Every structure is written in structure tokens, then in C-alpha cells.
Structure 1
């Protein structure tokens, strides 16, 4: 597979693969299948909206069947993206995840329903306030790789592809968020040149104006 693996731009029809990759890496890089009543919620927050709004900023790594096994996707303007998400994307899909009550009420909700309610709350809150990092680092990204695409440099190549596309647009910086328990991811991003933007390194930024 290594010889046939390649990086290419996103193309229509990749969406089911983006959904699968997102779900299978949603638990701090581990498989989150079955953690929600409808696993596709993960992708409808963290993957599919980006491919819908910015297909030209979405890149995938594919296997020997040209099926995506990893991706990077993002936006060049975090605040504009989040306003669009709140006004257009989320209202069009939110009916699939009806309100279940208080996400903290474990008496009436199963563990899966409670997790879903918390994620729906996150989605519903996107766009309600400006990102604290968007002035200096207006772009942001999400990157996920299935195990068969890991450890071969594809993560760096995906980020480089997105960074090059953002530089062409004159974007000065990009940021991302990492789970507090995902030490491997934090170390990976810092190795690539991302710098911590908060005390626990769960927010990291990359200066796109520095020559490589």
C-alpha cells in the first residue's frame, strides 16, 4: 500500500470516507464508533462542513483504491466560517439530532445520549463568539489519519499542502485545538513548528509568514 498511497485534493464523493475517518479518530485519535446514537454527528461538526465550504482547502491521503484514509481540512477565516456554520450549515442538519434535555442530567440520558447532547451543545454554540486566536492565526484546521496512514510522514505532507494553499491567499497564521489528553498529537504539532497558545498546549498556532 505504501507505494500506492498518495496525496490529492478533495473531490466530490469523498464525503463518506471523511465521515468514517472522523469517527474512527474522534476519541483523541482513537476509534469513537458506537459512542453516540448517530456516529455521523462527529463529522457534521468537525469534517463535512469544511469540505462543503472550502473544498479547495481540503486534502486527502488515499490508498491503492484511491479511497481516503486521512485528511486535512480547514478554513482561511475562522470567524467567517463559524458565522456561516451557525447561519447555514447547522440549521440544515440539526433536525437529525433532536434536543435531549440537559447534557449533564445522567439520570434521564444514557451515556451515548449525554455525549451526543454535549456535542450538539458545542455545535449550537459555534459562531456565538469570536475565536480568541483568530486575530493572529485566522485560519484553523482539523487533521485525522487512519492507522494505515500514520507513521509515514503523511501528516506533515497534509499540513504542508494546506499551509501552502493558505499562504497563497495571504493568510498569516493557522491554529488548531488538541484534546488535553492527546499528548502524542501535541508533541507532533510542536515538532512541526506549532507553538502553544495556552498553558496546557491544547491550542497551538503556526506562523505562515516565516520562510521555511
Structure 2
């Protein structure tokens, strides 16, 4: 039987639930994070939903012709500093989420505390190596090996370049071997490690 075809398109609000599922199922260094936290949706509240809220025009999805739901996505902001300020001032408080200081300080809650701390602070408000945009990309295993990741990246980068953005960065955890190998393959350069994961930068031709 012929394999299904991966197609790219712009995000639609009706995709949200499917994308939350993709986010959770890839959040543990590319593997399924279901059950790692008391509330699985915390992953999406930090790494997906704020981008869909603030920048739906920079969200693209991949779907397969034999599946009814989106099976991967890329989301981004074109201004990390402004995004981080909005995240902390508006997005995080609007969720009514507990602060990191309210989560038990023990090994069982260490990951939750880490993520909540990031939620309160927002993404790093800087532009490493002159790259003010940043992105998150997640694909279910069924979409991988079809060129969908590269195609999503090129689609987003073309949009950012058309807006005059000089560069985009992404950070991968040191345990995420797939991401560490992926970014150099799609035109990103690795910056010196800073202890908080590996940051990659792709410089963009001005549109």
C-alpha cells in the first residue's frame, strides 16, 4: 500500500486540540510526556498555545492524507523580547496557573517547578547572535522521514525573512538527540553551549 503524503498548510483554530496532543506526545525530548506532570496541558500552555494566541500567522501544520488531524506543527514569534514581556504580563496570569514557589520543592515535582518557573519568566528576552525570532517545531513519529520538518522550517523562515527578520533561533535540550541532529541539517548553526541547552541560529536573507 502506498504511503500517505504529508501536506503543509496554515494553522486553523480547529487544529488546536490536535496540536496540543502533538505537543504533549513529543515534549519529553521528542518522546511522549503524558503523565510526567500532574497536568499534561502545562506543556502546551508554555510551548504551544501562547504562540497560537499571539502569532497565529506564524503557525503552520503538517497533515497526512490518510489522517483527519494535524500531526505536526511549527510555531514562532518574530520578536522574542516583546513575546516574553507579553507572556509574563498577560498570558501566564490569564491562565491562573500556580507559581513555581507554590509547587512542592521535592524530586517528584522538580520538572513541574522548572516548567512553571519558565512560564513565569517567559522565553529568554534576547536575540542570540542577532536572531530576534524563535520557534518551536514538533512532529509525531508518523510524519518523520518525509521531509515535513525541513519543509515547515523553510516555510516559516521564508515568512520571517519577508518581514525583514534577520534571524531565528531555537533551543534543544541536551537529551533531545533528534533535535540536536535536525537543526544543523536545516541550516542552523550551533552557538556555544551555555548550560541551559543547545541554542541554534539560522540567519535569514532579507525579503
TM-score (norm 1): 0.87
Task: State the 1:173 CA deviation.
Answer: 0.3
CA contact (8 A) 2:30 2:178 kept: no
CA distance in 2, matches of 1:84, 1:184: 30
CA contact (8 A) 1:18 1:48 kept: no
What's the secondary structure of 2:134's corresponding residue? strand
CA distance in 1, matches of 2:165, 2:100: 40
Task: State the 1:103 CA deviation.
Answer: 5.8
CA contact (8 A) 2:99 2:120 kept: no
CA distance in 2, matches of 1:161, 1:2: 23
Q: What 5-or-longer segments of structure 2 have no aligned partner?
A: none
CA distance in 2, matches of 1:189, 1:67: 25
Task: State the 1:187 CA deviation.
Answer: 1.5
What's the secondary structure of 2:118's corresponding residue? helix
* Aligned counterpart for 1:74 among listed residues 69, 73, 76: 76
CA distance in 1, matches of 2:139, 2:35: 19
* Aligned counterpart for 2:149 among listed residues 155, 176, 189: 155
CA contact (8 A) 2:80 2:127 kept: no
Aligned residues: 203
Do residues 118 (structure 1) and 114 (structure 2) align?
yes
CA distance in 1, matches of 2:174, 2:30: 12
Go from structure 1 to structure 2 and tell me whether the alpha carbon gap of 1:156 and 1:92 turns closer, same or farther (over 3 Å shift). Answer: same
Task: State the 1:90 CA deviation.
Answer: 0.7
CA distance in 2, matches of 1:45, 1:168: 27
CA distance in 2, matches of 1:103, 1:175: 30
Which residue does the alignment assign to 1:16? 17
| Structure 1, 156-165 or 114-123: larger mean CA deviation | 114-123
What's the secondary structure of 1:30's corresponding residue? coil
Task: State the 1:114 CA deviation.
Answer: 3.2
Q: What 5-or-longer segments of structure 1 have no aligned partner?
A: none
Task: State the 1:155 CA deviation.
Answer: 0.2
Over aligned residue pairs, what C-alpha RMSD do you find? 2.2
TM-score (norm 2): 0.89
What's the secondary structure of 2:110's corresponding residue? helix
What's the secondary structure of 2:13's corresponding residue? coil
